[in-house]
């Protein structure tokens, strides 16, 4: 809570004079439009110290002038990655010498917090424009449209992925108690690449990718996993397939296969994982797998498939129902990456 404004000396004298004339606290408050508690404090001070002058307030004067603060705020708004030392150097050049702690405190008092910069895909001008066009084109689509979309993507799941950053409750000298440690091996103990799809009705098949995937392998995956998933999820007529613009996805042979199988493909803006809700499901899967702590790649594959199948249809439906929020976020951020 900020400091209140001090009353002028003239007003304090008037309060004391009215009190001496026999006027009560409430009446003085009403006449001068000053809180009763303030009236009482001033009169008590008069009685105790026989004084009405304003006493100096405690606290050291500000080391950085308002002009210096304004310069700092302007700098961090324009260049958020500016360090405290760089700001201190700028102030020193302007005639003010302060430590880095004072710089940090001043920034925090003005609403800034030091945080790790989020890692997002590199977006060029063409990417930003494509994202804005996608968001504007689909912003008014009804939820029923998104319910007809079958979303897809690939991901890599490491054997000791999320477990490598597990938090534990321990006492000061128990850091290396086996119960408080996480076993690690070189290169994360290995990993598995998966392809999967899902819709508002639930998860489709989860397929392990063996070796490096090319266009031919991708078409085999679509034949053996996409089409059965669409049937199992009862997508019906007119469903739409979503995949990104990876070269093997957009190869002529792949386009011909999709056309031959009467699969309608959604236009997709490149570099836009935040627009694909399957990213949220990948996170859900990795958390579930980490809790079961697989010990080898065979266990990892089995557990991944079990946990993928267990993800409730309600989770999938919620991601799709709220899809328009992603589009709104893209427009609000002028086409750049969003929190999704």
Domain that holds residue 83: 66-110
Reduce the DSSP state of residue 42 to 3 states and report it. helix
Residues 314 and 240 grouped into a single domain? yes
Q: Are 174 and 256 in contact (CB under 8 A)?
A: no
Asked if 149 and 236 count as a contact pair (C-beta separation under 8 A), the reply is no
Residues 287, 154 share a domain: yes
What residues have CB less than 8 Å from 3, skipping those under 6 apart? 57
For residues 268 and 242, is the Cβ–Cβ distance under 8 A? yes
For the ranges 50-54, 133-137, 166-170, 211-215, the lowest mean pLDDT is seen at: 50-54
pLDDT at 31 over 90: no
Percent with pLDDT over 70 in the chain:
88
At residue 291 the predicted structure's pLDDT band, cuts being 50, 70 and 90, is confident
In a domain, 246, yes or no: yes
- CATH number, domain with residue 247: 3.30.420.10
- Per-residue model confidence (pLDDT) at position 187: 55
What is the per-residue pLDDT for 315? 94
CATH of the domain at 35: 1.10.10.10
What is residue 1's predicted lDDT score, i.e. its pLDDT? 46
pLDDT at 4: 60
What is the pLDDT, as a whole number, of residue 221?
A: 93
**Same structural domain, 165 and 102:** no
pLDDT at 148: 94
Mean pLDDT for the stretch of residues 90-117: 87
Q: Give the mean model confidence (pLDDT) for residues 295-324.
A: 93
Classify strands 240-242 and 264-265 as parallel, antiparallel or unpaired: parallel
Assigned domain for 338 exists: no
Report, in angstroms and rounded to the nearest whole number, the Rg of the chain calculated over CA atoms: 32
Q: Is residue 340 part of a domain?
A: no
Shared domain check, 195 and 106: no
SS3 264: strand
Measured between alpha carbons, how far is 227 from 272 in angstroms, rounded to an integer? 25
Same domain, 38 and 167: no
Is 117 part of any domain?
A: no
Tokens of 297: 């790649």
CA distance 222 to 248: 12
Could you tell me if 102 and 132 lie in one domain?
Answer: no
Average pLDDT over residues 274-286: 94
Q: Is residue 115 part of a domain?
A: no
> What pLDDT, on the 0 to 100 scale, is given for residue 237?
87
Q: Domain boundary at 110, 139, 170, which? A: 110
DSSP-derived secondary structure for 138-204: HTT--HHHHTTEEEEEEEEEETTTGGGG------TT-TTSGGG-----GGGG-EEEEEEEEETTEEE
72: number of CA atoms within 13 Å, CB side?
A: 29
Residues 257, 201 share a domain: yes
Q: Is the pLDDT of residue 47 over 90?
A: no
Bridge partner residues of 199 (DSSP): 202
Average pLDDT, the chain: 86
- Could you tell me if residue 238 is left (phi over 0), alpha (psi between -120 and 50 degrees) or otherwise beta? left
**Cα 227 to Cα 320: distance, rounded to the nearest angstrom:** 20
CA dist., res. 26 & res. 12, Å (int)? 15
Q: Would you say residue 91 has pLDDT above 80?
A: yes
| Interval 133-150 mean pLDDT | 92
> Given this model, what pLDDT does residue 205 score?
95
pLDDT at 301 over 50: yes
Q: How confident is residue 222, by pLDDT bands cut at 50, 70 and 90? A: very high
> How far apart, in whole angstroms, are the C-alpha atoms of residue 152 and residue 137?
21
The answer to whether position 159 is within a domain reads: yes
- pLDDT tens digits along 234-254: 998 889 999 998 888 889 999
Predicted confidence at residue 317, as pLDDT, reads 94
The pTM of this model reads 0.69
Same domain? 168 vs 86:
no
Pair (201, 281) in one structural domain: yes
Q: Is there a single domain that holds both residue 131 and residue 53?
A: no
> What does the block give as tokens for 135?
């968001």
| Per-residue pLDDT reduced to its tens digit, 180-201 | 666 666 555 688 999 999 999 9
| Per-residue pLDDT reduced to its tens digit, 252-275 | 999 999 999 999 999 999 999 999
User: Is residue 201 in some structural domain?
Assistant: yes
In a domain, 13, yes or no: yes
Q: Which residues contact 137 (CB under 8 A, 6 or more apart)?
A: 267
Residue ending a domain, choose from 59, 79, 102: 59
Q: Are residues 256 and 131 in the same domain?
A: yes
Q: Are residues 253 and 318 both part of a single domain?
A: yes
Domain count, the chain: 3
| DSSP of 86-116 | HHHHHHHHTT----HHHHHHHHHHTT----P
| Cα-Cα-Cα-Cα dihedral sign, residues 317, 319, 320, 325 | positive
Whole-number pLDDT of residue 201: 94
């Amino acid at each position: 809570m900020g400091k209140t404004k001090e009353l002028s000396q003239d007003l304090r004298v008037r309060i004391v004079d009215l009190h001496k004339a026999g006027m009560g606290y409430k009446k003085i408050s009403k006449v001068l439009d000053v809180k009763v508690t303030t009236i009482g404090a001033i009169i008590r001070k008069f009685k105790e110290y026989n004084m009405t002058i304003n006493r100096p307030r405690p606290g050291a004067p500000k080391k950085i002038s308002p002009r210096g603060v304004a310069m700092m705020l302007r700098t961090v708004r324009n260049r958020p990655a500016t360090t405290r030392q760089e700001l201190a150097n700028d102030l020193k050049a302007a005639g003010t010498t302060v430590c880095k702690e004072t710089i940090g405190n001043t920034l925090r008092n003005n609403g800034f917090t030091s945080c790790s910069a989020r890692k997002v895909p590199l977006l060029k001008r063409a990417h930003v424009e494509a994202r804005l066009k996608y968001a504007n084109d689909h912003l008014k689509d009804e939820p029923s449209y998104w319910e007809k979309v079958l979303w897809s993507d690939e991901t890599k799941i490491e054997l000791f992925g999320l477990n490598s950053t597990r938090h534990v409750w321990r006492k000061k000298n128990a850091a290396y108690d086996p119960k408080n440690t996480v076993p690690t091996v070189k290169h994360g103990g290995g990993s598995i690449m998966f392809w999967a799809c899902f819709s508002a009705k639930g998860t489709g098949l989860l397929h392990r990718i063996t070796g490096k995937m090319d266009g031919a392998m991708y078409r085999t995956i679509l034949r053996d996993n996409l089409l059965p998933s669409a049937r199992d999820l009862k997508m019906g007529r007119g469903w739409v397939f979503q995949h990104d613009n990876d070269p093997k996805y957009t190869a002529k042979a792949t386009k011909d296969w999709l056309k031959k199988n009467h699969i309608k493909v959604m236009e997709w803006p490149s570099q836009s994982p935040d627009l694909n809700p399957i990213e949220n499901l990948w996170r859900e899967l990795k958390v579930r797998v980490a809790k079961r702590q697989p010990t080898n790649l065979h266990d990892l594959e089995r557990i991944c498939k079990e946990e993928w199948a267990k993800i409730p249809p309600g989770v999938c439906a919620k991601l799709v129902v709220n899809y328009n929020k992603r589009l709104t976020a893209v427009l609000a951020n002028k086409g750049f990456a969003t929190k999704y």
